[in-house]
Structure 1
Amino acid sequence: MTQILNRNIFALTAILVFIYLIIRSITVPISHDEAATFFHYIQSNKFVPYYTLWDANNHFLNSLLVYPLYKIFGSDLFWLRLPNLILFPLYALFAYKLTTEIKSNLVQLPTSIALITAPFLIEFFAQSRGYGLSFAFLLGAIYYINAFIKSKSPRHQLLIWVFIALTVMANMSLMNTFLMILGGIFLLLLFKGKKNFSRSNWVVFVMFGLIPFVFATIYALDMKEMGLLYYGLGDGFVKVTVKSLFRFGFDTESMTLAWMATIIGLIASVSLIAAFARKHFNFANAGMIAAVFLLGNALGSILLNFMMDVNFPEDRIAIYFLPLFILTFGYFVDHVSTKYRKFKWTVVLLVAFPISMLAQLNLGYTLGWVIYPVSIDAYDYFNAEREKSDTPLIISGDRLLSMSWGYHNVRADIMGVPFAEDWRDTFHLSDYILCHPMNCVKTEADYDLVFEDESNMKIYKRKADLNLTPIFELDSTLYFNDDFEYHNILDTYNDTVIRNANILEVEIKVASPNIPLNTEIIITSSNPTNNKLYYDIVPLKWIQNSWDGQTLHFRRPVSLPAESERFVVYFWNIDKVQQEITVINVRLYHGEVVE
């Protein structure tokens, strides 16, 4: 009866969490990483490794699944997040199955509940990233490894490779786990394989395990060579990896807790691995397998840092440690409590996960990007204000908001406004400022708070008018109709212009058959030795998905260093495609707030 009760409590919890994730997939504003994924890989339809932008942000499986939804249903966030969302039931199913070998019902329930309520982890099932997908497939791989150890069946081995391949396609940071599985199964086949399955198991191992691993390794090494394994820090596994999981999962930076969790994880994993060895590796459970992965990934991170100077994984890159730790700890408690019955009460520590989730429930932001959400409401408010103005309005903020703002330009399918990056010396020139209280510059003296959304993002409006003194204007209209890579629209060495210009105004008409149009307006200055001193971009694909003759008219603050000798504004036609551009006007102003 208790097992049935546990199953029903788990099922109810999973249903409630799934409903919560469905709502979050609709209400939570897009994050910077999601916007980067959208522009680099979804909108461009270029996500196949070696044939797209090289970056660790390319979660190939996520892009592969999202792209057809984008083409069919459009760029609404729900459709971009759907592949991860629909994998949560699979994750929950494996979370329950993997805990069924825990003998104590008292230990089994908190362990299974913790797996589906770890707050930082489950959020990724409502984001357009690869992490949610990878967690579901990782648990699937563990489940079939457990089955294969017992059965030595080629079918179970094949399912292992299917699930771990999908895991790595969604999240390359699990390559160490892939390597451990490869080594473990090789040893099992060598020393423990059943004779009647021997040949077919070796064929499956080579074709579906070894060969895919070689290709994945080559790709990972190429990324390392390009310096793309950049995320994280080199300050130590506990200080970087473990502490970051506490930071986002439990809102604490306590090194004491980080060390305690590390020691518990070490003791638990070593104990279960020792128990696995005592059974001569003929019998396993999910906890023993998770223990191997938990300890192996920790040691692998340390070795990679020591031997190849790879940073220790941090926050979202390290989040796969959470399900491994929960499984390891739950089975460890169950293992020890067979001798010391009262020890099973230590499983109460896992209750911290659902409690933390309840404490951090929200429908307005993600824990990894608390200060960078750009909501539809904030975007719509500014556009309503823009429609009331006869001149182009400037909105600015932290640079990590610009891609999310660009996503809304594309989603809204209207002629948007490029989001300007804050430069402290031009801060007062923006008509509106978008920011979170945690990183807002003090603006009360010059700006009024005019809007606040559910994400706690605020929009401020400048109190005083801005006096614009013209210092440059284009002599005549420019026209380009070609596939040239570069076209200058402003190129000046005029010292007076460079010293006084702090606002750029551009009005252009654009048409091209290419969708999206990968052309950028580059704003730059350089010194006498041609070193870049200032660099700003306005990607046209962040304004419109397609260009068929629309007019873009915007103003943008510029902050040219005093050492600048040359100031250039030009078009960069990155893909060298046919495009027709009419430059109606380019103006430079010196702006000053009216006292």
Structure 2
Amino acid sequence: MSSARTGLGLLVALAFLYICARAALVPLTHDEAATFQTYVLTGNYLPYLAHWDAGNHLLTTAVARGSYLLFGSEPLALRGFSALCFLLWGWYALRFTRLLDQAVFRIALFMALLLTPFVLEFFALFRGYGPSLAFLLMALFHAVRLATEARRMDLVLSLIAMLLACAASLSLIMLWCMLVAGSAAVLLRNQRRDATSWAALLLFGFLPLLLAAHYSFELSARGLLYFGTDDGLLAGTMASLANWVLGVGHPLVGAMLMLMPIPLGAWALRVGRHRLVIGALLLLILGELLGRFILAQAFGVLYPQDRTAMHLVPLLLMLFGFSIAALAQERPWLKWSALFLFALPIRTVFELNLDRTAYWPEQAIPAEVFNAVTERKAHSARPLLISGYHQHAAVWAYGSMRRNGSLPMLDVIGFPQPTCDLMLIDRSYFEVPQGFSVVAEAPHGKLALMQRDSPLATNIAMDTVIRIQPTDAEFSELLVAEDAAWLAEGCLIEIDAVLRSEAMPMDLRLVVELKDADGASLHYDVVDAQRIRAHWQGDAWREIRRVPAHQGAARLVCYFWNPQRHAFSADRVQVKAHRMHQP
């Protein structure tokens, strides 16, 4: 037994090191970068007070804010909490599987939980899904202990763990409802009348659950619960899990495989072995599926899929493991079915990497791409105009910030379009415009940096230099061009500024707007300074923005917008308008 525990402990340690390596080395994804810029960088993340978005996974955002203040914006600093939660996940996976008598089932289920494909990589991401699963497993373990031993400490630990699980991901709110109701049922069954237990249930259960439910409805009312599927539980929810976890692409076959533990569990209930765990898992899974069906049919809420349905994976795995362990008491040959569990960690081993996520490979912008841009920037008289997809904008801004804000922001308008010096593009999804060649490529092959074969031809149409004295004005005009013939042909606006502000971060935005003779907006482009640098203390900001060709263009204006009225100054602001020459 001691050698087996040592082996499992070594496996957890190796997996944790792998998770930490991924957390440090895999480039950030869009959701991670956007959450960092919107909530962590600003420190404004509390529900009802902050920007409304379902991507604000409150627990991980709050921890990342503290980590950012202590350790900076390194990927490992942002993802460290998720990585640490993997240890909690491993510990409670071990405690749960120790309830099984036979070593083969215990080891197989433990390895399947610890190294589940798709699930594993979320412990190395700055998202709430990994931590939510760790706290869910903790909550379920202590809920089982509560049902068998009726100890107050198990009640408190279960409620707090479930509260933290839903604070990390609201996708678990249905399970939270059932766990709180189940805890109340256990107290009533055991005729517990002590005020402490009921106060704990109220404080850590009912009250935060009601608040979370209200917040969820507010998100839904704002149309922010947009990620999901209307394909139903089988073709949508279960098929998506089968695709990512099992690698089964056929929707019906995948859904049937994912649901197989349910009839197995119903069959195992009559045996009597592990009846409490099997019954509880069945209730949770069926309650979750029924609740999702009701929400979809009655309120039009989309069914969860892949990452938002991921909490079903450990429940189904445990139901399968405990069910076959119980049935094997009568049919010993069923122990061979444990081999199905070993298939999951084997699949994970074949997918190990340190450069991308399985779910968002095209969003991983490697250092080689940033280095290639930096090298070309050194030989360019003006900032390089880089075109990219809008899903890459936040990731690119994060990469530029990590390089002291030295790179201009992506031009995402009208992507893909050929008016640029460099283009960041997923060639498997977009058709590349003519006249571009690859200069750098991501290891996963989903993303390439391409350079224009013939340089853009421009000449300077306007060049002005101003100084902005300390001010908290909402608008500071930089350049105005009216009724110029070149406005309709398209142009590039280059900004070279030296900014100062005590605000950290400073919410200052560069706006470039093109209007027609009637004042109607033809083009509007905005770049947020706080996405480039958190602190501006005499630092340079060099930016370039593209203004597309528009017939009827009459007025071009470039200005700083200061919506929070932060005090700032600019020692020097040079603005150039580059007239475009059409080939």
Deviations 1:81-120 (A, max 9, x none): 1111112111101011111222333222221111111121
Give the corresponding residue for 1:548.
537
In structure 2, C-alpha distance between the alignment counterparts of 1:528 and 1:348, rounded to whole Å: 73
2:296 to 299, 305, 308: 305
Check the 8 A contact 2:464/2:574 in 1, yes or no.
Answer: no
CA contact (8 A) 2:234 2:252 kept: no
Q: 3-state DSSP class of the match of 1:466?
A: coil
- Describe how 1:116-127 pairs up with structure 2 within 5 A: 116-127=114-125
The CA distance in 1 between the partners of 2:521 and 2:232, in whole Å, is 35
**Distance between the aligned counterparts of 1:560 and 1:243, measured in 2?**
46
Counterpart for residue 196 of structure 2 = 200
Distance 1:291 1:105 in 2: 23
Partner of 2:260: 264
Task: Say whether the 8 Å CA contact 1:30–1:375 is kept in structure 2.
Answer: no
Superposed displacement of residue 351, structure 1: 2.6
Cα separation, partners in 2 of 1:235 and 1:561, compared to 1, 3 Å: farther
1:242 aligns with 2:238: yes
Task: Please state whether the residue corresponding to 1:368 is helix, strand or coil.
Answer: coil
Structure 1 pair 125–452 and aligned structure 2 pair: CA distance change class (3 A): same
Which residue does 1:72 correspond to in 2?
70
Gaps of 5+ in 2: none
How does 1:340-351 map onto structure 2 within 5 Å?
A: 340-351=331-342
Relative to structure 1, the CA distance from residue 395 to residue 424 in structure 2 (aligned partners, 3 Å threshold; closer, same or farther) is closer
Give the CA deviation at 1:424: 4.5
1:91·1:137 contact (CA, 8 Å) conserved in 2?
yes
Q: Give the corresponding residue for 1:407.
A: 398
User: Which sits farther off after the overlay, 538-547 or 339-348?
Assistant: 339-348
CA contact (8 A) 1:371 1:438 kept: no
- Matched to 2:504, the amino acid is I
Write the distance in 1 (CA, Å) between the matches of 2:477 and 2:529: 16
Flag the 1:269–1:422 CA change in 2: closer, same or farther, 3 A: farther
Shift of 1:140: 0.3
The amino acid across from 1:538 in the alignment is V
Shift of 1:561: 5.6
Quick one: distance in 2 between partners of 1:246 and 1:488?
Answer: 55
Quote the offset at 1:321 in angstroms: 1.4
Alignment partner for residue 56 of structure 1, among 46, 50, 54?
A: 54
Q: Which amino acid aligns with 2:423?
A: I
**Cα deviation, residue 123, structure 1:** 0.8
Residue 532 of structure 1, CA deviation: 5.6
Alignment map for 1:18-97 (pairs within 5 Å): 18-97=16-95
Q: TM-score, normalised by structure 1?
A: 0.90
Q: 1:124-143, CA deviations, whole angstroms, 9 ceiling, x for partnerless residues?
A: 11111212211111100011
- 1:329 Cα deviation after fit: 1.3
2:163 aligns with: 165
User: Counterparts in 2 of 1:95-174, with a 5 A limit?
Assistant: 95-174=93-172
- CA–CA separation in structure 2 for the residues paired with 1:424 and 1:440: 9
Aligned to 1:428: 418
Picking from 499, 509, 516, the partner of 2:498 is 509
1:361 matched to 2:358? The reply is no
Residues 2-57 of structure 1: CA distance to partner in whole angstroms, max 9, x if unpaired? x5565444333322211211211121111111101111111111122222211111
Asked if 1:559 is matched to 2:548, the reply is yes
Q: What are the equivalent positions in structure 2 for 1:330-479 lying under 5 Å apart? A: 330-421=321-412, 423-424=414-415, 427-442=417-432, 446-456=435-445, 457-470=447-460, 472-473=461-462, 477=466, 479=468
> How big is the shift at 1:389?
2.1
Per-residue CA deviation, residues 307-364 of structure 1 (Å, 9 max, x unaligned), is 2211111222121111111111111222332333323323322233112212211110
Say whether the 8 Å CA contact 1:102–1:334 is kept in structure 2.
yes
Distance 2:287 2:578 in 1: 59
| 1:529-544 → structure 2 map (5 Å cutoff) | 534-544=523-533
Secondary structure, counterpart of 1:87 in structure 2: helix
1:319 aligns with 2:317: no
After superposition, the Cα gap between the structure-2 partners of 1:364 and 1:250, relative to the gap in structure 1 and judged at 3 Å, is farther
Query: Residue by residue, what CA displacement relative to the aligned partner does 1:177-224 show, whole Å, maximum 9, x if unpaired?
Result: 11111111222222x1245x6443222222221122122222222222
Matched residues in 1 for 2:438 and 2:176: separation? Answer: 51
Paired position in structure 2 for 1:213: 209
Of 219-228 and 122-131, more deviation after overlay is shown by 219-228
Distance 1:294 1:204, change over 3 A: same
Q: SS of 1:79's equivalent?
A: helix
Which residue identity lines up with residue 500 of structure 1 in the other structure? Answer: E
CA 1:434–1:299 in structure 2 vs 1: closer, same or farther (change >3 Å)? same
1:135–1:167 CA contact under 8 A, matched in 2: yes
Distance 1:566 1:234, change over 3 A: farther
| CA deviation after TM superposition for structure 1 residue 507, in Å | 2.9
Quick one: distance in 2 between partners of 1:289 and 1:448?
58
What's the secondary structure of 1:311's corresponding residue?
A: coil
- 1:345-390, Cα deviation, whole Å (9 max, x unpaired): 2332223311221221111001121111122332123112212222
**Partner SS for 2:418:** helix
Task: Pick closer, same or farther for the CA change 1:565–1:5 going to 2, 3 Å.
Answer: farther
User: Given residue 309 of structure 1, which amino acid in structure 2 is its aligned partner?
Assistant: G
CA deviation map 1:151-183 (0-9, x unaligned) = 112211111111011111111111111111111
Give % identity.
24
Going from structure 1 to structure 2, the CA distance change for 1:387 and 1:206 (only over 3 Å counts) comes to: same
Q: More deviation in 74-83 or 529-538?
A: 529-538
Structure 1 contact 233–313 (Cα < 8 Å) conserved: yes
Shift, 1:476, TM fit: 6.0
Q: Is the 8 A contact 2:405 2:541 kept in 1?
A: no
Uncovered stretches (5+) of structure 1, i.e. residues with no partner: none
Give yes or no for contact 2:382–2:494 (8 Å, CA) kept in 1: no
Q: Which amino acid aligns with 1:256?
A: L
The residue matched to 1:223 in structure 2 has which SS? helix
Structure 1 stretch displaced more, 250-259 or 54-63: 250-259
Instruction: Measure the CA separation in 2 of the matches of 1:566 and 1:103.
Output: 78
What is the letter of the counterpart of residue 90 of structure 2? A
Greater shift after overlay, 161-170 or 406-415? 406-415
Contact 1:35 1:404 in 2 (8 A): yes
Partner of residue 567, structure 2 = 578
Q: Is the 8 A contact 1:523 1:569 kept in 2?
A: yes
Q: Please say if residues 101 and 285 of structure 1, whose CA atoms lie closer than 8 Å, have aligned partners that are also in contact.
A: no
Counterparts of 1:356 and 1:301 in 2: how far apart (Å)? 29
2:258, 2:316 within 8 Å by CA — same for their partners in 1?
no
- Aligned-partner Cα distance in 2 for 1:266–1:360: 28
